[in-house]
Amino acid sequence: MKITSICCIGAGYVGGPTMAMIAQKCPHIKVTVVDLNEDRINAWNDPDVNNIPIYEPGLSALVAETRGRNLFFTTEVEKGIDESQMIFISVNTPTKTYGLGKGMAADLKYIELCARQIAMVAKDDKIVVEKSTLPVRTAEAIQNILDNTGNGVQFQILSNPEFLAEGTAVEDLHNPDRVLIGGNPTPRGTQAINALVEIYANWVPKDRILTTNLWSSELSKLTANAYLAQRVSSINALSELCERTGADVNEVARAIGMDSRIGPKFLKASVGFGGSCFQKDILNLVYIAKSYGLNEVADYWEQVVIMNDHQKRRFANNIIQTLYNTVADKKITFLGWAFKKDTNDSRESAAINVADHLLHEKANIAVFDPKVRSKQVISDLQYLNEMELSELEKSVAVFEDPYQACEKAHAIAIMTEWDEFKNYDWKKIYDNMQKPAFIFDGRNLLDPEKMRAIGFIFSAVGSAR
């Protein structure tokens, strides 16, 4: 089957960039991204591509090249489904906040809604591709819905999980380590797998396109994120030991990372991992293991999340203890709110938890982030914090200028590893702060000797003071 028309349900962090790349590499395919969120679709269609809803290096240029040619963004979901041969499901799968599996299991209500809408609309055979991160065997549920509520058409289900890192998503799409496609080993299933393989083969070498059964593909995504998060929690666990013993976690990480069996990636000590995937996917893995009675397996992976929560709490407590055991009415400036550099995504950012902890200690929080706006900061805290909005707005101020954010602050906390922070006039910042002036480097971004020479009382995760 030669694919000439694709529909993607969901115009978020995965759907938008992925479809833009497919549109660029496959100009013979019409790619339509559909979403019920009218504001989001309007942002994707903004004449100024710098205003698209997702910030990723290189993404605006990609959209500018393809939008209106063979890439389209629309709220006409049913039309998009009807006119496509292949449908990608790329909707949110958050952790459940209610009922069975609350706090661990993936909430699949949006996946089910997509499946039911596809079944209702489709009038001819479709290939349905899971792009969202899903629990193993979700494809079985999607297939049951499609087969039993459809219009008698044939559906083939594929799993094609994304392995994008925010901040490098465009490069990850352009030059992926691997593309994973899972499907049923039947004649029709194999035909569907080959159709998706041929799309990616327009720019990805075929030896990097892996095909598996559905369940292996679904589980591989969860375990890939779990392994990466495990490395972060492991080095963060060592960072606390380094602080107590006088070792330097950066030196330890460099030493062990030179072992070819270990490698250097994801060995950067920090205030803790964030983002939309790591915690959600590990908790989902924990829930799946528990549902099969594999309690020891579940306990093993849950410890990765426990360690991450401990690191964020420890960082906040360090600020309080260093500032003479009280931050009440003190101004603490957060440089960075996004969960990592080169993205405007703040989901599960460590900054949110640390700020919440300090707000409960009556601190005043000032925030500067190059890409995250005031509305998002307040929204993030409102979701987590029990404070009234009016009270929250009195205690939290978001600035568009980093020097104003730092003015008269008692302490600065580096929460995101934005490169520009290294190039600030730190002497100017120091001169306009309350004395003594403290820096708490949660990202090991700044030069300790330089900061101390200026006059700062400086501490970084994983280094003895």
Q: What is the mean pLDDT of residues 412-425?
A: 98
pLDDT digits (tens, 9 = 90+) for 121-175: 999 999 999 998 888 888 888 999 898 876 789 999 999 999 999 999 999 999 9
**End position of a domain, from candidates 171, 204, 237:** 204
What is the DSSP track for 167-226?
A: TSHHHHHHS-S-EEEEE-SSHHHHHHHHHHHHHHTTTS-GGGEEEEEHHHHHHHHHHHHH
Q: Is residue 371 part of a domain?
A: yes
What residues pair up with 32 in beta bridges, in sequence order? 7, 72
How many structural domains compose the chain?
Answer: 2
Say whether the peptide bond before residue 436 is cis (omega within 30 degrees of 0).
yes
| 411 within 8 A of 323, measured Cβ to Cβ | yes
Residues 17 and 78 in one domain: yes
| 280 within 8 A of 94, measured Cβ to Cβ | yes
Q: Which two tokens stand for residue 218?
A: 């679904």
Q: What is the mean pLDDT of residues 262-283?
A: 95
Residues 231 and 94 in one domain: no
Residues 310 and 181 in one domain: no
Residues 151 and 249 in one domain: no
Whether the predicted pLDDT of 65 surpasses 90: yes
Q: Is residue 389 part of a domain?
A: yes
Query: What separation in angstroms does the CA of 265 have from each of 230, 259, 262, 340, 415?
Result: 12, 11, 9, 15, 20
Residues 156 and 234 in one domain: no
Residues 167 and 219 in one domain: no
Phi, psi angles (nearest 5°) of residue 401:
-125, 125
Comparing CA positions, the residue from 331, 347, 328, 306 lying closest to residue 413 is: 331
Of 8, 26, 242, 277, which one is the catalytic site residue? 277
Percent of the chain with pLDDT over 90: 90
Residues 185 and 44 in one domain: yes
Residues 258 and 189 in one domain: no
Q: Which two tokens stand for residue 325?
A: 């055991």
State the residue range of the domain holding 152. Answer: 5-204
Q: Which two tokens stand for residue 170?
A: 């465009």
Residues 265 and 395 in one domain: yes
277 noted as active-site residue: yes
pLDDT digits (tens, 9 = 90+) for 307-339: 999 999 999 999 999 999 999 999 999 999 999
**End position of a domain, from candidates 168, 183, 204:** 204
CATH of residue 76: 3.40.50.720
Residue 246's CB: how many other CB atoms inside 10 A?
Answer: 8
Tell me the helix, strand and coil percentages in the chain, rounded to 5. 45, 15, 40
Q: Is residue 209 part of a domain?
A: no
Mean pLDDT rounded to a whole number for the chain: 95
CA distance 197 to 193: 6
Run of H or E residues at 358: helix 350-359
Residues 199 and 234 in one domain: no
Residues 261 and 188 in one domain: no
CA distance 431 to 107: 50
Query: What separation in angstroms does the CA of 85 have from each of 30, 44, 78, 93, 192?
Result: 10, 23, 13, 24, 11
> What is the distance, to the nearest Å, from the Cα of residue 152 to the centroid of all Cα atoms in its chain?
38
The model carries a pTM of: 0.90
* CB-count burial class (<10 Å; 0-12, 13-18, 19+) for 414: buried
Q: What is the pLDDT of residue 357?
A: 96
